[in-house]
Chain A
């Protein structure tokens, strides 16, 4: 299973774009990259998933370079309500064995 590394914490201000990078040097050919968001006292919830290049949805964008050894979650114009912990997961979509979350990145959005 690919090990992931993320910054422990990040601060931003309202209205700014935030980019959170995850390193996954030993990603396998059939692995997908999935990001989750967790608010206090709640379970994590799915944000976005990608395999290569760029994926965008109504919440975020995910940028994946050609070598796929890292990925960047981009949150456009963050608000105070985006303060949360963000987790990057790497694994095959066809098998959910041993999905490990790591410690995630605590994003704090300041007014």
Chain B
């Protein structure tokens, strides 16, 4: 099916382990984003990408690494997971040339990560 998919949907890991959350979109959208959502904080931007091989930090990038070698994929890696990174992670994409412009994002279903 076309759309934006995240995997895994649920993940439990331990402190210090490396975790990668995957995001794949089928629209060839230029922009892709990673947000985390915690109670009381709304959605906070971790990283975003304007195109393949172009990434930039958001509000809360510490402890995360991203890459974008292909337009359709935007993986998020926690190199050494900490308990404070327990959260729900949302990936999103948008396209500058779409009818409503680049700031209309389409979100994935989210990945719930628990770090023990």
Interface residue ranges, A against B (CB under 8 Å): 32, 34, 36, 41-46, 49, 85, 87, 89, 91-104
Interface: B74 (CB within 8 A): no
Indicate if the CB atoms of B105 and A49 lie closer than 8 Å.
Answer: no
CA distance A41 to B44 in the complex (A): 16
Indicate if the CB atoms of B103 and A99 lie closer than 8 Å.
Answer: yes
Indicate if the CB atoms of B45 and A98 lie closer than 8 Å.
Answer: yes
Closest chain B residue to A96 by CB distance? Answer: B102
Chain B residues positioned under 8 Å from A45 (CB to CB): 106-107
Indicate if the CB atoms of B96 and A44 lie closer than 8 Å.
Answer: no
CA distance A36 to B104 in the complex (A): 9
* Band of interface residues on B: 20 to 34
* CB-CB contacts below 8 Å: B81-102 with A: 90, 92, 94, 96, 100-102
Q: Given A97-B48, A98-B48, A100-B45: A44 and B103 within 8 A (CB)?
A: no
User: Separation in Å of the A106 CB from the closest CB of chain B?
Assistant: 10
Indicate if the CB atoms of B103 and A92 lie closer than 8 Å.
Answer: yes
CA distance A89 to B96 in the complex (A): 16
Indicate if the CB atoms of A97 and B110 lie closer than 8 Å.
Answer: no
User: Which of B56, B59, B103, B108 lies in contact with A91, CB distance below 8 A?
Assistant: B103
Identify 18 new A-B residue pairs, CB closer than 8 A, beyond the known A46-B104, A99-B103. Answer: A32-B100, A34-B100, A43-B107, A43-B110, A46-B105, A49-B103, A49-B104, A92-B103, A93-B102, A94-B96, A95-B102, A96-B96, A97-B56, A98-B48, A99-B48, A100-B45, A103-B40, A104-B42
CA distance A14 to B90 in the complex (A): 30
Chain B residues positioned under 8 Å from A87 (CB to CB): 42-43
14 contacts between A and B (CB under 8 A): A32-B103, A43-B110, A44-B107, A49-B100, A87-B43, A92-B101, A92-B102, A92-B103, A93-B101, A93-B102, A94-B102, A98-B56, A98-B59, A100-B45
Chain B residues positioned under 8 Å from A85 (CB to CB): 42
CA distance A111 to B33 in the complex (A): 37
User: Separation in Å of the A30 CB from the closest CB of chain B?
Assistant: 10
The digit string for B28-43, where 1 denotes a CB below 8 A from any CB of A, is 0001010100001111
